Homo-oligomer: A and B are copies of this chain.
Amino acid sequence: MSPGGSISSPILPGIWRVTCGRPEAVSPVATRSYPPAETALAELPQVDTCPVPVSGQATPRGYVVSIPLGEHEQVYGLGLQLQSFAHRNTKKTLRVNADPRLPAGDSHAPVPFYVTTGGYGVLIDTARYATFYCGNDHRRTARAEHAVGGDGLPAAYHAATGESPSDVLVEIPHADGVDVYVFAGPSMRAAIQRSNLFAGGGALPPLWGLGVWYRTHKDFDQDDVWQMAETLRDRRIPCDVLGLEPGWQTHTYSCSYVWSKDFPDPKGMIEKLRAENFRLNLWEHAFVHPTSPLYERLTDHAGDFSVWSGLVPDFVSATAREEFADFHRREHVCLGVSGYKLDECDNSDFTGGWSFPELSTFPSGVDGEQMHCLFGRQYQDAITSAFDGEPTYGLVRSAHALAAPYPYVLYSDLYDHRDFVRGVVNSGFSGLLWTPELRHADSPEDLLRRLQTVVLSPLAHINAWYLRNPPWMQTDPDENNAGRFDPSWPELEARCRRLLEFRMQLLPYLQAAFVGYQRTGAPPFRALVVDWPDDPRTWMIDDQYLVGDALLVAPMVAGQRTREVYLPGGTWFDFWTGTPFGPGRHSIEPDVETIPLFVRAGTAVPLAEPSLHATSEWTIHVRSYGDDAPDTVTVYPERDGSVVETVLGRDDVASWSAVTVGSNGAPAGQPT
């Protein structure tokens, strides 16, 4: 391959752009709305030389980028990959697909960005279904296959096992070129931070967004929703956000965005809910029904194919996004709607026949493939701007590169708990957030294990859209909807309540992690390898993750009695018992109530008194872990929609003295 472009000075601190061939007009970077967070970028470690060379070549099929990969260098990222983790020696074709059941690259949110244990990241700035060959570059001319090593095996064998240098090859269909962005570290974590700051910094949800979410049954009317709100308060189930499913609209497939007769007084309902400290989140998708008032306004700003006879807005067009936002602002947001669940923007066409074809064209000049790549992110862009800077937080089924600043969390119709954990782990590489939401469960154990992962995720979503009663009253959907409950359900409810209360206790800590995401780009939820890339024992761990800088979670799934936990670096403490653990591999047997949760030595964790909804009037308890735990802890109470950085010293916190500071950090006991 010939060099694709010259690498000169960085475009931003530690960020290089290599222009290969003739890049397409529309790309993730070309369509960005948020500017890079330049000040924060300047605060990252200085790196003066581009960490990897980039070359490229036009072919009759499109364009191929080649980037070397070192011996023993592992590759991560490529968006929300639910079935795979470490990508070395695999091929991934990054199609947007709502039904990503193969580890072949299909994803709700494929992101053409990878990061390696070599301490750098690479963004291929394309809105096409690019194919990544992650180190399985077996070009015959590239490395002599006759060159046999001391073990008698050809060099290609070693390349195939990642034991010798290779390349990442990226094939971009249809394009004559592409811009490649290289993000220096020098650490893997710094490279990810740099990419997130390049995107504009991570999303900071409002505090209520970090509380508990409960989505009500699709057939509920206004009174049913209100009744559920009352029930949750009566039963002392923490909840900040109630979500509506399609039934609130007059037409849903495609969408009218107009309140149905089942919701005769949305403004009154929202005010009443807000008085009880509930926010309201609305389900919708982007395909506009002919009966919608939005329809005429978008006729000239839509694709040439319809979906469910609805228009497909050309979200690459600022006009289309503004029309879409304006309608939502005036019809919903002004009533007090807090955010949206943006469904069906992830090309269910592949298996559901439910989207626009890749051969579509749009007035902005993009085709259907490009639009699928950008659709979820641009939909977030349109809907976020309806809030005019007011805090919002929501759910979305698709995203792409540079989506980190959008306050939206990915979800899926898939439901494998193990894959859902992997989603939390993987999303942190690519500027994404993901919720392993709870719907029904196979058993009380399954319910508890899933809820444990939920409360240690970016959005604690109980998505009961097909349950008329909370899942702890009956885990089986048919029985639940028939009103047949196990007599012991209040006991299961109590166990779930404790988990949700634990979520509420964590709010100051979680929020601080998100403040870090916004300010430094460090993902609040991430794989162990991000912080310990030099420890190869972390390289394949896709069933544990970090929350902020202090907590390590090792979720259990139903049926699991014991599991291995790997603790990298130095000493860790069991969060619940305070027992110290040395670094390395441990076998644990947590009971079904217990989330395996470990705290890094040398940290202090601020916990709030649990409440039924988020509040900034916290009573903070601080738990310190290890001799070198700090004497201060920073929390971020909200004032007038902004956070106020507040450093608490030992004397400021009533209960600080209740925990052992400066010792081995055994706390007083498990939180109630």
B309 engages A145 (CB within 8 Å): yes
Set B59, B103, B351: member contacting A359, Cβ < 8 A: B59
A91 engages B350 (CB within 8 Å): yes
Most buried by B among A97, A146, A358: A358
A103 engages B351 (CB within 8 Å): yes
Q: Does A637 contact B (CB under 8 A)?
A: no
Mark the stretch among A134-142, A198-206, A493-501 that contacts chain B: A134-142
Q: Tell me the chain A residues, 347-387 only, with Cβ under 8 Å from chain B.
A: 349-351, 353, 356-359, 367, 369
A367 engages B306 (CB within 8 Å): no
**Chain B residues whose C-beta falls within 8 Å of the C-beta of A351 in the assembled complex:** 90, 102-104
A178 → chain B closest CB, angstroms? 14
**What is the chain B residue whose CB lies nearest that of A348?**
B91
Q: Does A133 contact B (CB under 8 A)?
A: yes
The proximity string for A residues 52-66 relative to B, scoring 1 for CB distances below 8 Å and 0 otherwise, is 000000011110100
Q: Does A308 contact B (CB under 8 A)?
A: yes
Cα(A104)–Cα(B97), bound, Å: 10
Identical chains in the assembly: 2
B140 engages A305 (CB within 8 Å): yes
Q: Does A156 contact B (CB under 8 A)?
A: yes
Set B90, B101, B157, B171: member contacting A101, Cβ < 8 A: B101
Q: Does A426 contact B (CB under 8 A)?
A: no
Q: Tell me the chain A residues, 102-119 only, with Cβ under 8 Å from chain B.
A: 102-104, 106
Q: If the complex has contacts A174-B60, A304-B141, are A93 and B290 also in contact, measured as CB distance less than 8 A?
A: no
Q: Does A216 contact B (CB under 8 A)?
A: no
**What is the chain B residue whose CB lies nearest that of A95?**
B93
**Chain B residues whose C-beta falls within 8 Å of the C-beta of A70 in the assembled complex:** none
A93 → chain B closest CB, angstroms? 7
Q: Does A554 contact B (CB under 8 A)?
A: no
The proximity string for A residues 282-308 relative to B, scoring 1 for CB distances below 8 Å and 0 otherwise, is 000000001000000000001111111
**Chain B residues whose C-beta falls within 8 Å of the C-beta of A140 in the assembled complex:** 302-306, 311
B306 engages A369 (CB within 8 Å): no
Q: If the complex has contacts A290-B145, A290-B154, are A61 and B304 also in contact, measured as CB distance less than 8 A?
A: no
**Chain B residues whose C-beta falls within 8 Å of the C-beta of A269 in the assembled complex:** none
Cα(A311)–Cα(B154), bound, Å: 13
Indicate the size class of the contact surface on chain A: 35 or more
**Chain B residues whose C-beta falls within 8 Å of the C-beta of A103 in the assembled complex:** 351
Cα(A302)–Cα(B315), bound, Å: 45
The proximity string for A residues 514-532 relative to B, scoring 1 for CB distances below 8 Å and 0 otherwise, is 0000000000000000000
Cα(A306)–Cα(B496), bound, Å: 54
A135 → chain B closest CB, angstroms? 9
Q: Does A169 contact B (CB under 8 A)?
A: yes
Other contacts beyond A91-B350, A136-B353, A169-B357: 7, CB < 8 A = A101-B101, A101-B102, A104-B350, A131-B358, A131-B359, A160-B353, A173-B173
Nearest first, the 4 A-B pairs at minimum CB distance are: A156-B309, A104-B350, A154-B309, A138-B306
Interface residues of A (CB under 8 A from B): 59-62, 64, 89-91, 93, 97, 99, 101-104, 106, 131, 133, 136, 138-141, 145-146, 154-157, 160, 169, 171, 173-174, 290, 302-309, 311, 349-351, 353, 356-359, 367, 369
A-B contact pairs, 23 of them (CB 8 A): A59-B359, A60-B367, A61-B367, A61-B369, A91-B349, A99-B104, A101-B101, A131-B358, A133-B357, A138-B305, A139-B306, A140-B302, A140-B303, A140-B306, A141-B304, A145-B309, A146-B290, A155-B309, A156-B306, A160-B308, A160-B353, A171-B359, A173-B173
